[in-house]
Structure 1
Amino acid sequence: MPAGRTHDRITLWTLPLVAIATYSTTRNSSLTLVVAGGFLFSGLMFGPDLDIYSCQFQRWGWLRWLWIPYQKSLRHRSFLSHGPIIGTALRVLYLSIWVLLAGVVGLTASYWLFQLDLNWREVKQVAGRSLVEYSPEAIALLLGLELGALSHSLSDWCSSGYKRLKAKGVLGWKRPKKASKGKRRSPRQTRSVKKRSSKR
């Protein structure tokens, strides 16, 4: 499995390719910037290795404690952290819950401290309108996040496959056959076998 610095280099080397491919597809500089930003963020701070004490985890600084429950809940390199689409979706959902909790606490504190007129229905409406209005940017961001995570997972899989191939050859790719279980002897058969062996 590549080291954290190797993953960083892969992210930085492939970033221009992602930007060129996005712009040639969309012809939109804003969407290209969002995809490239999401790819860079995912590769350096929001990737699959947040499930361990990694470079990505440490780059969150004093906010890295947010990811400790995430680490406690998932096994390293499990499908839920390193799997395509589901890994990114789970991290986005996890971080969104924290952001939502922080927003609710902040708005409630502002209401009690500064006596601000707070209408939760209006807050929900503004959030809904923003999601609809900026849906292309949201989709571009999710695509960039997934591409960044996918580059990480692909490098892990390629590295593991190369090491397996180098150590065991082509046969290393085959799943080992399960040993066939013999028929269990009954207690009577076991005693008879012991008697025969004792007579000999």
Structure 2
Amino acid sequence: MTSGKNHDRITWLCLPWIFIGTIIASKDLLTGFVVASGFLFSGLMFGPDLDIYSVQFKRWGYFKFIWLPYQKYLPHRSFFSHGFIIGTVIRSLYLCFILLLVGLILGAIALMISPEIWQDTVNNLAVIGQVYLKEIIALFIGLELGAMSHYLADIIDSWLKKRQKKKTTRKPKRRIKKTTAKKPSAKRKVNRR
């Protein structure tokens, strides 16, 4: 499995190409920035290795505790953490669920302080989802591209290690020497005295 440092190198090396490629494909600088930001966030903090005690997990600092239930219920390298698209969807839904819980707590406090603030916040969130739908999709694409760089690095690394192992464990074929059958020799003379 590829180390955390190598995953980081891959993320930093691919980042300019993701940014430039997105700008060329979308003809929009903002979309390029959003996709590249999602890619960087996914590569460094939001990738598939949040299911173990990893570099990505440690980068959450004081907030890494929010990933403990995720780690407990998802085995490492399972389809649900390292699966194409499904891994990013599950991590995104999980993080949104945590943010929703925090939002409900803060909302309850805001409701006690001022009901108008709570209503304005709910209305603004609904508008954000509609107005910024393109950017939300671009962010998800960036998150998935960051996760894909991780999956692909793990797959290639595992394949190379397996191939290398086969080469080193393969026993050389023993060559069988062709021996010529010896002609039966004349009977030995036995000396009897």
Q: What TM-score bracket applies, with the shorter chain setting the length? A: 0.7 to 0.9
Are the equivalent residues in 1 in contact too, given 2:110–2:118 (CA < 8 A)?
Answer: no
Q: How does 1:23-172 map to 2 (within 5 A)?
A: 23-112=23-112, 114-117=113-116, 123-168=121-166
State the one-letter code of the partner of 2:163: L
> Structure 1 stretches of 5 or more lacking a match?
170-200
User: 1:119, 1:50 → 2: CA distance?
Assistant: 33
State the one-letter code of the partner of 1:165: R
Q: Secondary structure of 1:101's partner?
A: helix
Deviations along 1:140-187, one digit per CA (max 9) or x if unpaired, are 000000000000010000000111111125xxxxxxxxxxxxxxxxxx
Partner of 1:188: none
Residue 124 of structure 1 and its aligned partner are, at CA, apart by: 4.3
User: 1:33, 1:146 → 2: CA distance?
Assistant: 15
Residue 127 of structure 1 and its aligned partner are, at CA, apart by: 2.1
User: 1:115, 1:8 → 2: CA distance?
Assistant: 44
Aligned in 2, Cα 1:115/1:136: closer, same or farther, shift over 3 Å?
Answer: closer
Partner of 1:194: none
Deviations along 1:111-144, one digit per CA (max 9) or x if unpaired, are 22x2443665x65443222111101100000000
User: 1:43, 1:107 → 2: CA distance?
Assistant: 31
Q: Which has the larger radius of gyration?
A: 2
User: 1:91, 1:104 → 2: CA distance?
Assistant: 20
Q: Secondary structure of 1:53's partner?
A: coil
Compute the TM-score of the two structures, normalised by the length of structure 1.
0.80
Residue 107 of structure 1 and its aligned partner are, at CA, apart by: 1.3
State the one-letter code of the partner of 1:38: G
In the alignment of these two chains, the number of paired residues is 168
User: 1:59, 1:48 → 2: CA distance?
Assistant: 14
Compute the TM-score of the two structures, normalised by the length of structure 2.
0.83
Partner of 1:181: none
Q: Secondary structure of 1:117's partner?
A: helix
Deviations along 1:5-59, one digit per CA (max 9) or x if unpaired, are 0100000000011011101011111110000000000000000000000000000
Are the equivalent residues in 1 in contact too, given 2:45–2:56 (CA < 8 A)?
Answer: yes
Aligned in 2, Cα 1:91/1:97: closer, same or farther, shift over 3 Å?
Answer: same
> Structure 2 stretches of 5 or more lacking a match?
168-193
State the one-letter code of the partner of 2:107: L
User: 1:115, 1:128 → 2: CA distance?
Assistant: 20
